[in-house]
Structure 1
Amino acid sequence: MHQETLRMRRIPNYSLYGESARPPWYDAFNFEWIVERSAPNDWHIDAHRHDALLQFLYIRGGGGEVLIENRKIEIVPPCVIVLPAQTVHGFNFAPHVDGLVITVAQRSIEAIASITAPGLVPVLQRAGVIRVNAQAAKDSSLMPIVELLEKEFRATDRAHMAAGMSLLIALFVHVARLCEHASTPSVAPTDRRAQQIKRFRELVAAHFREHRPVEFYAQKLGMTVTQLGRICREEISSSPLAVLNEHLVREAQRDLVYSHMSVKQIAHGLGFADIAYFSRYFRKQTGVTPTQFQAEALKALAIQ
C-alpha cells in the first residue's frame, strides 16, 4: 500500500485488531497465537495502529507479508517483527502461519526496561522485521519463556500480570540477543514525515508539563505552525493541539489510576498551578472530573 493511499483515509486505532482501543492508561499485556485472530479474517489484517501499545511477533513457520508504514516486507521465518506504538501496520499471512503475537503497553515495558535492561529500550522503539538464524532460535530459551508467558497470561493466580511483565523483559533480552546474530536484518525505514511526527511526539513527551504553545514545537522542528498542522492532519488525522491535549490527559489518567498522589499533587506535577483549572481542563477533555474518572477507572480495574 502506498503512503498516499494511507493518507487518504483514517488509519483505525485498535487495542487488538478488530477491537476498540482500551483506555491509554490501561497497563497490561496480551498473548495469542497468530492463527487465533488471523484465520477468522482470512489471514489478512488491514492497516491499523495502536495508540499506546507495542506488538512483538515471532514467526516460526509459514510466511506472508507485513506492511510497516508505507513499505511491504516479506515474512521469512524464523523472524521477529517489532511494531512500536503508533506504527501503522498490516499483514497478509500465509494460511496456517505458525507464530505468536504479544501486545503490551509501550510505556510500561519501556519503564521497566529502562531500570532493568536499558539497552533494550532502542530495540522496543524501532519498527522492523529481523530474520534470525534457525539454529540460534532453536538453541535459545525463547520458546520456554514464551510457554511460561502464555501460562501466566491465561492464569488467574495472584500477581500473574506482574509475573508476566517480568517474563516479557526476559523474552525481549533473548530477542535482542537473537537480533545481534541476525542473518539478514530487514529493518523498515520510515519516511521524512513519519520521522517528523515521531520527533514532535518526543518533544511533547519532554515538554508537556510546561504547557508550551504549538508555536514552540513548530520552532523546535524548524517549520511553521501551518506546516506542522498540515503534517499532523495528513499523517495522523489530528491537530498539533489535539496531540498535546491527548498526551497531557493520558498522563493525568495514568497518575489518577496508578499513583498514590492526591488530585492536587497530580495537578501540580502536570504543571497546573490551580487545581480548579486542572479539574475544568480534565472535564473538558474527558467529560468527567478527575475524581469521577479515578473512581470509575479503579472500579473497572477491580473487576478485570
Structure 2
Amino acid sequence: MPRVIPNYSLYGDQAQPSWQSTFDFEWIPVRSARYNWEIQPHTHDAFVQILLLRQGAADVQLDHARISERAPCLILIPAQTVHGFHFAPDTDGPVVTAAQRPLESLAQVVMPELVENIRKPLVMSLVSQDAAMDALMPIFLAIERESRRSSIGQVAAALSLITALLVQIARLRQVDAATPVLRDSRKHGQIQKFRALVDARFKQHVPLQDYASELGITPGQLTRLCREVLGTSSLAVLHARLVHEAQRELVYTDVSIKRLASDLGFVDEAYFGRFFRKHTGLTPREFRSRARTSTQ
C-alpha cells in the first residue's frame, strides 16, 4: 500500500482551504509538547510556515533532507513540502503559518525576487549572525499582537508584517550565502519543476507523458517520484491543482458553473460536476453555498 503523508492546516488539525485561515501565530511548545515534542512528517497544502528557535534544538526533516540544528535557528517550510520535527523538550520560539499564494501575490508587486525565497525551504543557523534575532523577533511579536486582534484590516496588517519578515529572511540568505541551507536534492528539484509545469498548464489537461518528457523521465518514474516525495501519485497532483483552482473560483467569484468548467478545460459542465464531486464529496453549487456561508 502506498505511503500517504498527512496534510494539515496546522499539525493535528484537519486541513482547511487557504481562504478559511489566512495566518496563524503560536509558540513551539503550545503544539509540540502535546505530541511529546515529536511532529511526524506531514504537509501543508497551501501554507508556508516560518519558525524561529530562540532556545533548544531540533532534528528537522524537509523532503529527503534531515538536518540537526540548535538555537538560534531559522526554519522556512514552503507549501506542499514534506516536513517533520523532533524538538528537544526545552525548545521555544515563535511559529507563523500563512497562506502562501496571497504572500506571493503581494511579493510580486513589492519585491518580485521575494517569491523565490518563499518557495525555497531553509534551515539556517543564526549563531554567527549576531543582529539576526534583534531584526526578526520584533516582527514575530508584532505578528503575534495582530493575531490577537479582531479589528478592521487585521489580515492586511498581518500579511504586510509577514512580508517584512520574509524580506529580513531574504537579507539573511544574501548576507551569509555559506550558511548551512537545505540543498535541493535532484528529486526535490524535479518535483519543484513538475509543480511549476502543473501550475502553468493544469487548465490545458496536458497528458502526464508530456510532463514526464519535459522532466526527462518516464510517466512511471514520475509517479514513483511523486509517491516517494509527496506521498501521492502524479495524477493526484494534477487533480488537486484543478480542484484547488475550482474551489477558489467558486468562493471568490460569481462565475457560472458552466463557464468555470470551460475555463478549467472540461468538455462540459456535467463532466466537471462529476470530477469535482468525486474529489470533494460535494457538487460545485453545494460547495459554493457551504463555503460562502462559513466565511460570512
The two structures have a TM-score, normalised by structure 1, of: 0.88
1:118 Cα deviation from its structure 2 partner: 1.0
- Describe how 1:107-118 pairs up with structure 2 within 5 A: 107-118=101-112
**Structure-2 separation of matches of 1:297 and 1:50:** 20
1:135 to 113, 130, 150: 130
Q: Which position in structure 2 is the counterpart of 1:3? A: none
Aligned positions, number: 295
Q: Which position in structure 2 is the counterpart of 1:4? A: none
| Contact 1:60–1:98, Cα closer than 8 Å, also in 2 | yes
The answer to whether the aligner puts 1:233 opposite 2:217 as a matched pair is: no
User: Secondary structure of the residue that 1:266 maps to in structure 2?
Assistant: helix
Relative to structure 1, the CA distance from residue 46 to residue 192 in structure 2 (aligned partners, 3 Å threshold; closer, same or farther) is same
User: Secondary structure of the residue that 2:85 maps to in structure 1?
Assistant: strand
User: Secondary structure of the residue that 1:135 maps to in structure 2?
Assistant: coil
**Structure-2 separation of matches of 1:209 and 1:171:** 33
**Structure-2 separation of matches of 1:226 and 1:57:** 36
**Structure-2 separation of matches of 1:96 and 1:75:** 14
1:279 to 266, 273, 281: 273
1:203 to 197, 206, 226: 197
Partner amino acid, structure 1, of 2:113 = G
1:210 Cα deviation from its structure 2 partner: 0.8
**Structure-2 separation of matches of 1:70 and 1:188:** 10
**Structure-1 separation of matches of 2:72 and 2:242:** 40
Q: Which position in structure 1 is the counterpart of 2:294? A: 300
1:171 Cα deviation from its structure 2 partner: 1.5
User: Secondary structure of the residue that 2:226 maps to in structure 1?
Assistant: helix
| Contact 2:82–2:229, Cα closer than 8 Å, also in 1 | no
**Structure-2 separation of matches of 1:155 and 1:100:** 17
1:218 Cα deviation from its structure 2 partner: 1.7
**Structure-2 separation of matches of 1:100 and 1:138:** 12
- Describe how 1:255-294 pairs up with structure 2 within 5 A: 255-272=249-266, 274-294=268-288
**Structure-1 separation of matches of 2:235 and 2:210:** 12
**Structure-2 separation of matches of 1:233 and 1:183:** 32
Relative to structure 1, the CA distance from residue 281 to residue 160 in structure 2 (aligned partners, 3 Å threshold; closer, same or farther) is same
**Structure-2 separation of matches of 1:42 and 1:184:** 33
1:183 Cα deviation from its structure 2 partner: 8.0
Q: Which position in structure 2 is the counterpart of 1:180? A: 174
User: Secondary structure of the residue that 1:212 maps to in structure 2?
Assistant: coil
1:8 Cα deviation from its structure 2 partner: 7.3
1:165 to 148, 151, 159: 159
Partner amino acid, structure 2, of 1:225 = P
Partner amino acid, structure 1, of 2:125 = R
Q: Which position in structure 1 is the counterpart of 2:79? A: 85
1:231 Cα deviation from its structure 2 partner: 2.4
1:248 Cα deviation from its structure 2 partner: 0.5
Segments of structure 2 that go 5 or more residues without pairing to the other structure are none
Partner amino acid, structure 2, of 1:173 = V
Partner amino acid, structure 1, of 2:159 = M
Segments of structure 1 that go 5 or more residues without pairing to the other structure are 1-6
**Structure-1 separation of matches of 2:192 and 2:287:** 29
User: Secondary structure of the residue that 2:113 maps to in structure 1?
Assistant: helix
1:165 Cα deviation from its structure 2 partner: 1.2
User: Secondary structure of the residue that 2:44 maps to in structure 1?
Assistant: coil
The answer to whether the aligner puts 1:59 opposite 2:34 as a matched pair is: no
Partner amino acid, structure 2, of 1:52 = A
1:139 Cα deviation from its structure 2 partner: 4.2
Relative to structure 1, the CA distance from residue 278 to residue 70 in structure 2 (aligned partners, 3 Å threshold; closer, same or farther) is closer
**Structure-2 separation of matches of 1:70 and 1:244:** 22
The two structures have a TM-score, normalised by structure 2, of: 0.90
| Post-superposition CA distance 1:233-274 (Å, at most 9, x none) | 333332222221111011110111123434344333323453
What is the identity percentage for the equivalent residue pairs of Structure 1 and Structure 2?
Answer: 46
| Contact 1:130–1:184, Cα closer than 8 Å, also in 2 | no
